[in-house]
């Protein structure tokens, strides 16, 4: 199948690029799919029915359906760590049994959801009081990576849903300016710190947590001002934090969007809306598992991504969001994608001889026009694009800018009078149209990318649920630190 796809890629290279897309061939509607509040338009991709059929045959050849079923059923898909990757269980609202080594994990998941509900309601109802008897006014999330990027996306994207009675802050790195800037804005007596670290050994997180502890007179003062989220509650207790919510070793940090790591979002939007976030993600889980591949949005996104990466040899994925609300979505996907599929060693421990995960970059689309749009138009680097817009009345102007840029980058500008103005076009791109920026839609959008990344990892035969490069670098850093201290 791989060789047949290479042959199709060779044909495309010999054909005029601007006429290759289904969009240019009048097949726009044939290359659009929709799942609830998200529409996926891939009519500007350099694919045709023959290529799509071959890609789906490739998926069937590697038994992709079995791999998707295994992921959601709880098989140990994290090969190197001998664990499941059951982030899908976190948003399974049916509460049906899911077993790991014979134990039903859903009772713990449901119990943790109830704790999130109780805590978020108490804070929103002003019943959670600080040590001095004053209600909470500020929530500070201390975490890095998956313990920061997901919650940050939510607080920014769901601005129309969050309670304005609270202020929301994030501290992620060890730059003292990050900590000091937040502390300057809060009153410690009315502040709740959420300390999130799966291992509860993350250097940046613990350093900032200890600095936050120092704002209080004694350990008795901190009881009502700190909540920990970790897979190692004993470490949080040893530190002096009494309220601890669990995360489990079968949930990767970058896949913890629907876990207690996102407690700040449950507080901000309320538990009922938080459940909507879970429901949006769960509906995509159902979609990816039970929809045929020709109509399966995450699978199509993944397969077309494979086509661009491995057959058209385009290794850059540009994501442009045309809404300020989605400003932090690109950094979130950067971690999700590059930490998952930035691998050169396959599941059997062999070095691969093909391209795997792309470089993911981008940001707000409107700003791109005044920064790196020149490179996109006439530069020598080839990119694939994901363009994300909101389908709401007040987004008309910015959406028209998006459509114009998509047209220019895919169709190009052929000019004879001014050769310096020539734009070749020919950039493959997806267009994701969101009906709104609600908790439900945001949960669905995140799950789309999670499953897309998983499907690609299956085709590349790599493990998307570990991060051995990071762990190796951490070990080297510890050795260097010990050496310098001795």
Residue 82 inside a domain? The answer is no
Q: Quick one: 374 and 241 in the same domain?
A: no
Residue 279 inside a domain? The answer is no
**Residue 203 annotated in active site:** no
Tokens, residue 278: 């879970």
Which single residue is written with the structure tokens 């908790």? 439
Range of the domain at 155: 87-272
Mean pLDDT of the chain, nearest integer: 93
Name the percent of the chain lying above pLDDT 90.
Answer: 83
Residue 78 inside a domain? The answer is no
The catalytic residue among 33, 76, 407, 474 is 474
Cα R_g (the chain), whole angstroms: 23
Q: Quick one: 440 and 324 in the same domain?
A: yes
Q: Quick one: 248 and 339 in the same domain?
A: no
Instruction: Render 244-267 in DSSP notation, one character per residue.
Output: EEE--TTS-GGG-TTSGGGHHHHH
Q: Quick one: 7 and 95 in the same domain?
A: no
At residue 25, the pLDDT reads: 63
Residue 377 inside a domain? The answer is yes
Q: Quick one: 328 and 207 in the same domain?
A: no
Total domains present in the chain: 2
At residue 477, the pLDDT reads: 55
Side-chain half-sphere exposure of 303, counting CA atoms within 13 A: 26
Residue 278 inside a domain? The answer is no
**Comparison of pLDDT for 30 and 119, the residue scoring more:** 119
Whether 360 shows a pLDDT value over 60: the answer reads yes
Phi and psi at 440, nearest 5°, equal -60, -50
Contacts of 392 (CB under 8 A, 6+ apart): 435, 436, 437
Q: Which contacts of 67-74 are long-range, i.e. CB under 8 A and separated by 24 or more positions? A: 67/458, 68/288, 68/289, 68/451, 68/454, 68/455, 69/289, 71/454, 72/285, 72/289, 73/98, 74/98, 74/99, 74/100, 74/105, 74/250
C-alpha–C-alpha distance, residues 89 and 251, integer Å: 9
Whether 122 shows a pLDDT value over 90: the answer reads yes
At residue 473, the pLDDT reads: 66
Strands 429-434, 316-321: parallel, antiparallel or unpaired by DSSP? unpaired
Residue 376 inside a domain? The answer is yes
CATH number reported for the structural domain that contains residue 432 in this entry:
3.40.50.10490
Q: 22-36, 67-81, 233-247, 249-263: lowest mean pLDDT where? A: 22-36
Q: Quick one: 298 and 403 in the same domain?
A: yes
C-alpha–C-alpha distance, residues 137 and 126, integer Å: 9
- The CA-atom distances, in angstroms, between 287 and each of 37, 283, 431, 445, 447 are 13, 6, 19, 13, 10
Q: Quick one: 45 and 105 in the same domain?
A: no
Q: Quick one: 263 and 131 in the same domain?
A: yes
At residue 396, the pLDDT reads: 82
**Residue 370 annotated in active site:** yes
Residue 57 inside a domain? The answer is yes
Question: What SS3 state is found at 229?
Answer: strand
Residue 105 inside a domain? The answer is yes
**Per-residue pLDDT reduced to its tens digit, 391-442:** 976 778 899 999 999 999 999 988 767 788 888 989 999 999 999 999 999 9
Q: Quick one: 208 and 309 in the same domain?
A: no
Tokens, residue 270: 């309320």
The catalytic residue among 204, 276, 339, 411 is 339
**Per-residue pLDDT reduced to its tens digit, 315-330:** 999 999 999 999 999 9
Contacts of 132 (CB under 8 A, 6+ apart): 189
Angle, nearest 10°, between helix axes 49-61 and 64-73? 60
C-beta separation of 196 from 229 below 8 A: yes
Tokens, residue 283: 């509906």
Range 302-310 average pLDDT: 98
**Residue 272 annotated in active site:** no
Q: Quick one: 52 and 98 in the same domain?
A: no
**Per-residue pLDDT reduced to its tens digit, 279-291:** 999 999 999 999 9
At 472, the pLDDT band (50, 70, 90 cuts) reads low
At 73, the pLDDT band (50, 70, 90 cuts) reads very high
Q: Quick one: 329 and 461 in the same domain?
A: yes
Whether 30 shows a pLDDT value over 90: the answer reads no
C-alpha–C-alpha distance, residues 140 and 136, integer Å: 11
At 467, the pLDDT band (50, 70, 90 cuts) reads confident
The catalytic residue among 370, 396, 417, 485 is 370
Q: Which contacts of 309-312 are long-range, i.e. CB under 8 A and separated by 24 or more positions? A: 309/355, 309/358, 309/384, 310/5, 310/354, 310/355, 311/5, 311/6, 311/8, 311/9, 312/9, 312/12, 312/46, 312/428
C-alpha–C-alpha distance, residues 183 and 203, integer Å: 20
Q: Quick one: 299 and 241 in the same domain?
A: no
């Amino acid at each position: 199948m791989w060789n047949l796809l290479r042959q199709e890629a060779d044909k495309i290279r010999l054909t005029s690029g601007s006429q290759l897309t289904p969009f240019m061939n009048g097949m726009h509607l044939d290359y659009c799919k929709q799942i609830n509040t998200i529409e996926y338009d891939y009519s500007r991709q350099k694919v045709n029915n023959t290529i799509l059929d071959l890609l789906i045959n490739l998926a069937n050849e590697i038994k992709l359906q079995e791999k998707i079923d295994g992921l959601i059923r709880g098989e140990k898909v994290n090969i190197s760590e001998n664990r499941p990757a059951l982030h899908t269980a976190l948003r399974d609202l049916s509460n049906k049994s899911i077993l790991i080594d014979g134990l039903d994990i859903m009772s713990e998941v449901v119990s943790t959801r109830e704790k999130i509900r109780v805590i978020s309601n108490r804070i929103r109802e002003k019943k959670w009081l600080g040590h001095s008897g004053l209600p909470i006014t500020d929530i500070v999330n201390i975490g890095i990576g998956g313990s920061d990027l997901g919650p940050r996306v939510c607080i920014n994207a769901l601005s129309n849903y969050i309670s304005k009675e609270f202020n929301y802050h994030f501290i992620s790195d060890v730059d003292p300016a990050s900590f000091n800037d937040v502390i300057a804005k809060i009153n410690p007596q009315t502040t709740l710190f959420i300390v999130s670290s799966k291992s509860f050994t993350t250097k940046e997180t613990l350093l900032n947590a200890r600095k936050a502890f120092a704002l209080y007179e004694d350990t008795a003062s901190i009881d009502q001002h700190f909540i920990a989220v970790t897979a190692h509650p004993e470490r949080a207790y040893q530190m002096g934090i009494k309220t601890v919510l669990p995360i489990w070793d079968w949930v990767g940090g970058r896949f913890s969007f629907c876990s207690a790591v996102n407690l700040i979002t449950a507080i901000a939007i309320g538990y009922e809306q938080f459940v909507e976030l879970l429901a949006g993600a769960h509906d995509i889980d159902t979609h990816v598992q039970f929809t045929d591949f020709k109509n399966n949005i995450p699978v199509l996104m993944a397969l077309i991504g494979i086509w661009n990466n491995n057959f058209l040899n385009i290794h850059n994925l540009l994501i442009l969001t045309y809404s300020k609300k989605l400003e932090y979505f690109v950094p979130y996907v950067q971690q999700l994608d590059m930490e998952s599929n930035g691998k050169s060693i396959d599941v059997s421990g062999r070095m691969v001889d093909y391209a795997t995960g792309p470089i993911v970059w981008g940001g707000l689309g409107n700003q791109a026009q005044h920064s790196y749009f020149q490179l996109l138009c006439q530069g020598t680097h080839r990119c694939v694009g994901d363009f994300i817009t909101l389908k709401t009345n007040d987004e008309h102007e910015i959406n028209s800018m998006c459509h114009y840029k998509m047209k220019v980058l895919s169709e190009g500008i052929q000019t004879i009078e001014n050769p310096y103005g020539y734009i070749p076009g020919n950039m493959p791109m997806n267009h994701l149209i969101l009906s709104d920026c609600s908790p439900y839609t945001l949960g669905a959008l995140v799950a789309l990318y999670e499953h897309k990344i998983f499907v690609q990892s299956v085709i590349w035969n790599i493990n998307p649920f570990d991060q051995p490069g990071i762990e190796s670098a951490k070990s080297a850093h510890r050795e260097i630190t010990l050496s310098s201290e001795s």
